[in-house]
Amino acid sequence: MTSITLRGNEIQLSGDLPAVGSQIPDFSLVGSNWAEVSKESLAGQNVVLSIFPSVDTATCAASVRAFNEQAAGLDNTTVVCVSADLPPAAARFCGAEGIENVVTGSTYRNPELLNTLGLRMVDGLLAGLAARAVLVIDANGVVQHSQLVAELSEEPDYDAALAALRS
């Protein structure tokens, strides 16, 4: 079982993140407009899944802002910010921040997705929520970049994720 830390305290995860070269499993999320955001609805596009516990934390909010800025210049790519936040909360955050270049996806109807991706925190203060990770998936559904952020309070490596889209 994989683990991460939160301020130095170890947290066990439900499994292992999908590896580079593997096919991303089917997924279904609820978008901020209550429409489904799924592997099928994003077929034929490059997809960045930015996964985190909640937009109501400083680091998670910073990652949404950073991907929003960088997503504006990406061709045939959708950035999906994935958390357990309810769709109205995600919509409210994005509206207040002027965020228009990312899509939000909630796991609240499909929390087992976090187990499938190996990202559900099984213990600790935030048990049940997602660990911080970034998956870059090409238009054929193949994982091109996979990062599990070892310390939950740190931001992901945006440059590495975006470089995977350019290669």
Give the 3-state secondary structure of residue 118: coil
Note the maximum CA span of the chain: 40
Q: Do the Cβ atoms of 65 and 94 come closer than 8 Å?
A: no
Q: Which of 4, 13, 60, 64 is catalytic?
A: 60
The count of other CB atoms within 10 Å of the CB of residue 96 is: 8
The reply to whether 81 belongs to the active site is no
Q: Which residue has the tokens 């490059």?
A: 46
With beta carbons less than 8 A apart as the criterion, state whether 16 and 162 touch.
no
Give catalytic residues, as residue numbers. 60
